[in-house]
Amino acid sequence: MKALRGKTGRWGFCSAGLMLVAIVLLISAGGRAEPLDSPKAEEDAKPASNAEDDLLDVADKKNETEKSPADIGFELLVTRPYVNPEFSDAEFDELWKVWEEPARSEAEKATPEERRELTLLRYGLQHRPQGTPGGEAQAGMPIQYLRRDDGEWVVNCFACHGGKVAGRVIPGLPNSHFAMQTLWADVRTSRFAKDEYTLKDLAGGFLPMGGSNGTTNAVAFGVLLGSRRDIHADLDMDRPLPKLLHHDVEAPPWWNVKKKKWLYADGFVSSDNHRSLIQFAMGPENSGAKLRGWDKDYQFIMAYIKSLEAPEYPFEVDAELAAEGEQYFNNTCAECHGTYGENETYPNRHVPIEEIGTDRARFDSLTPEYRQAFQESWFADYGRSPVVTEPVGYMAPPLDGIWASAPYFHNGSVPTLWHVLNVNERPTVWKRTEDGYDTDRIGLEVAEFDNLPEGIYDLRVRRTYFDTTQFSKSAAGHDFPEQLTHEQKLAVLEYLKTL
Ligand code: HEC
Ligand code: HEC
């Protein structure tokens, strides 16, 4: 999620300008009509919130021990709406009515509770883990949405940053099940069926949300929404629309942010920059004053993100083999990924795109001018927060908890660590199971195919396959492990479980 442009005219115009304007409205408003804040009215707008006062107050009143900034950050993420709602409780529970057969009949026969489970499953949403704040008001909500007082559902960061592995829900784990496009398509169909659709629903059909479950077009959303903001993050709907490179990416795990000096696949924003995270809320329903008013909230949210620890591998490890693997890892991989254990190191390396050789769509999607404009804007504290305006390629990420965050690479194209280590064995097309975990190859349990099986016309079903022949979905590159023998790779694989 990133965006921004300081000056006009740098990106050129998109021929489908009008359509895009409608889309901008759509992705921010989620199809619900809410009044837009006028930029002119901003001066009078009072700061949207002061998380510290609100939440510390609440803590005081309840006579609880003082909450840490990280606790406050987590509570904000699961209780405070930062964008417009997408649908109501009732609407969500009726989506099954537009499902294809036999799913619809199964849902019809099910109890309301079972039906809710089927609905969550279809869209890649999971129940909040025990102990998640929010109380009664958020009871029964998935981690990826929160419920407003009026029963409307508002998406939060965990839509992409909270997921499950081997059946366990972990906040901060990328949501490798998220079926964003399918959810929006069903909401739209449901509104069409009831004759309740809006222009925004119509426009939304044109903006790709994500061509495979677990990945989204998040970077292009950011560029598009950012293009409606001036240098102070104030709305300016008259700005020229940028060219967009639609491409799918997977969110990285949050527990590594505290190790990183730079954020995002190409490492262009400082990890001290909490304002970059506010790009999530850039839809036109939020005035610049509102975004700026959330500055403190996002400091707490960043504190929460940086407090997270990688989950431990829950299955068996051969300690002797892992110790052997550590040697090979330190010789072959550590120069980029760092060392682990007692004296940890992490080199924060930007690896040139030609050298890494993984899919380059993400790299190409942001221009130097775009990054420059971001650097000059409020989002980078007007140049005071460092921005790399001409990154060379992708960051080599820390590998803590790497067992949990499959699929791999920034575009989520490689289903297991075994496939990361064996360049020539990576499947062209793969399809995961819901909760299966592959303890031999470490990562998703998948079926592999040479091609997309024939006869799959339903786009919803097609998105359950990852097809590496599609644009932005290549699983090529990163052939460094090929320096190792088969036995050495097995040892490294064992070692990777322990990180
Ligand atoms: C629609 C999916 C989506 C939503 C919603 C979302 N993100 Fe992200 N986020 C991503 C993707 C994809 C990336 C990787 C982008 C890249 O590398 O260019 C990312 C990257 C990040 C990173 C950088 C992590 C790293 O290691 O470099 C942080 C931090 C982050 N998001 C925080 C947030 C916060 C906070 C919110 C909510 C306010 C949020 N995101 C909402 C998809 C999402
Ligand atoms: C020259 C630098 C370099 C070397 C050497 C290197 N890597 Fe990487 N590695 C990267 C970069 C850059 C990425 C990110 C690629 C992307 O996302 O497109 C990456 C990604 C990965 C990932 C996926 C991470 C994720 O979160 O999806 C794994 C696993 C990995 N490397 C393991 C290894 C192992 C094991 C070795 C040694 C055998 C190794 N790497 C050697 C640079 C390197």
Nearest to 127 by CA among 171, 184, 181: 171
The ligand 2 atom nearest the CA atom of 393: 12
More confident position, 8 or 74: 74
pTM over 0.85? The answer is yes
How far away, in angstroms, is 337 Cα from ligand 2 center?
A: 7
pLDDT tens, 325-345?
Answer: 999 999 999 999 999 998 899
279 pLDDT above the threshold of 50: yes
13 pLDDT above the threshold of 60: no
Q: What pLDDT is stored for residue 197 in this prediction?
A: 74
CA distances in angstroms from 65 to 57, 76, 137, 213, listed in the order given: 12, 18, 22, 41
From the CA of 360, which ligand is nearest?
2
Which residue's CA is the closest to the ligand 1 atom numbered 40? 157
How far away, in angstroms, is 251 Cα from ligand 1 center?
A: 6
Residue 136 makes CB contacts below 8 A (sequence gap 6+) with none
Ligand 1 binding site (Cβ under 6 Å of any ligand atom): 1, 157, 159-161, 216, 218-219, 249, 251-252, 256-257, 260, 263-265, 277, 280, 301, 305, 362, 410
How far away, in angstroms, is 478 Cα from ligand 2 center?
A: 6
Lowest mean pLDDT among 23-32, 180-189, 261-270, 290-299: 23-32
Q: Other C-beta atoms within 10 Å of 355: how many?
A: 13
Q: Is the dihedral of CA 270, 273, 275, 280 positive or negative?
A: positive
* Amino acid sitting at position 111: T
When pLDDT is averaged across residues 225-240 and rounded to a whole number, the result is 93
Nearest to 473 by CA among 465, 485, 481, 461: 465
Between CA 136 and CA 140 the distance in angstroms is 9
Which residue's CA is the closest to the ligand 1 atom numbered 6? 157
pLDDT tens, 359-401?
Answer: 999 999 998 889 999 999 999 999 999 999 999 999 999 999 9
The ligand 1 atom nearest the CA atom of 249: 12
The ligand 2 atom nearest the CA atom of 410: 17
Which residue's CA is the closest to the ligand 2 atom numbered 9? 396
Which residue's CA is the closest to the ligand 2 atom numbered 38? 481
pLDDT tens, 120-143?
Answer: 999 999 999 999 999 999 999 999
